[in-house]
Amino acid sequence: MSVTGCQNRTRCSVLIVCAKSMINGQLKHALKTLGFAQLSAAPSHVAAIQRIKNRPFTHIIFDAKGTDMPALDFVKQALELEEKAILIAISEHPRIDDVFSLLRAGARHFIVPPFAVDTIENIFCRASDKPALSEAVLNAPDRNGAFTAVILNNLYRLSVSMRQSREFTSAARDVMGYKSQLHESVELAYLFCEGDQEMLREKVIEGCINRAKEAATRLGRLRKKLGRKRSGDSNVIIEDEEDEEDENAVA
């Protein structure tokens, strides 16, 4: 049972797994305000597994700290029982490596109390749309390198969109979306980076330098070919897709 984005909220069934009644109350109030009507609660992870066995849930918000079962085991068992359920971890005092492990196991996102209604809505929509971290980041041997690639790709998309918005009014509406994607990727990278933030910044700088080298190499090769074409060398042809992309980029 899957739900796209934040549509069909009345059809969503949400299970809250938390031993603290205050947190349960805050979440239920926020979710009801957002239009989620089918709400259930379980005081522990084992009790939640029994609930999942008895009925399907589209969303499961669970305590990232284990109760009568390690949270990591809960994620694995819950997804075995309800493969398409969207799991969101609650973490009051998050240990980053623990949350990262839950995301690797299949949780789609995480939320930190206190809960603002708009924050919960944003996380529900994002988690319903896609996981917080891509498979490339979750399984990368070099996590900071993977985050760097995501950040630089988002920065490139934003810069292209901003350039296009100066020429085409219709492109302006895309700028905010790309800004949001870049901001989110930087925040997640700072949160889940290996080592400290300085190590991540060094990796990003290194990534920028490497991309600059690649661009310079492609541009130099293209200039050489164009020069040969202008001199009338009939043997000059574009032999592969990469060269075609280079010409398009310069144009």
Summarize pLDDT for 122-139 with one digit per residue, the tens.
888 888 888 888 888 988
pLDDT more than 90, % of the chain = 43
How far apart, in whole angstroms, are the C-alpha atoms of residue 16 and residue 10? 16
Confidence class for position 1, pLDDT limits 50, 70, 90: very low
The pLDDT, as a whole number, for residue 215 is 63
Q: What's the Rg (C-alpha) of the chain?
A: 24
Residue type, 136: A
Assigned token pair, 42: 């379980």
Tell me the C-alpha to C-alpha distance, in Å, between residue 236 and each of 157, 232, 246, 249.
32, 9, 15, 19
How far apart, in whole angstroms, are the C-alpha atoms of residue 205 and residue 185? 16
How far apart, in whole angstroms, are the C-alpha atoms of residue 109 and residue 168? 35
Tell me the C-alpha to C-alpha distance, in Å, between residue 207 and each of 144, 150, 203.
10, 11, 6
Mean pLDDT of the 171-190 span: 88
Confidence class for position 239, pLDDT limits 50, 70, 90: very low
Confidence class for position 245, pLDDT limits 50, 70, 90: very low
Q: Is 132 exposed, middle or buried (0-12, 13-18, 19+ CB in 10 A)?
A: buried
The pLDDT, as a whole number, for residue 237 is 46
Question: Each residue of 98-109: pLDDT tens digit?
Answer: 889 999 999 999
Tell me the C-alpha to C-alpha distance, in Å, between residue 33 and each of 20, 25, 62, 88, 113.
20, 12, 20, 19, 17
The pLDDT, as a whole number, for residue 22 is 87
Q: Distance of alpha carbon 12 from its chain centroid, rounded?
A: 22
**In the chain, ranges of CATH 3.40.50.2300 domains:** 9-132
The pLDDT, as a whole number, for residue 177 is 87
Assigned token pair, 38: 């089918």
The pLDDT, as a whole number, for residue 139 is 87
What 3-state class would DSSP assign to 36? coil
The pLDDT, as a whole number, for residue 218 is 62
Confidence class for position 242, pLDDT limits 50, 70, 90: very low
Would you say how long the chain is, in residues?
251
Residue type, 191: L
Q: Report whether pLDDT(180) > 70.
A: yes
Q: Report whether pLDDT(200) > 50.
A: yes
Q: Report whether pLDDT(4) > 50.
A: no
141-145, 189-193, 194-198, 232-236: range with lowest mean pLDDT: 232-236
The closest alpha carbon to 45, from 22, 78, 12, belongs to: 78
CATH of 9-132, one of 3.40.50.2300, 3.40.50.720, 1.10.1040.10, 1.10.287.3510: 3.40.50.2300
For residue 61, which phi and psi values (nearest 5 degrees)?
-100, 120
Return the higher-pLDDT residue of 235 and 193: 193
Question: Each residue of 52-72: pLDDT tens digit?
Answer: 999 999 999 999 988 899 999
Q: Is the pTM of this model over 0.85?
A: no
The pLDDT, as a whole number, for residue 251 is 35
How many CA atoms does the CB half-sphere of 94 hold within 13 Å?
17
Confidence class for position 93, pLDDT limits 50, 70, 90: confident
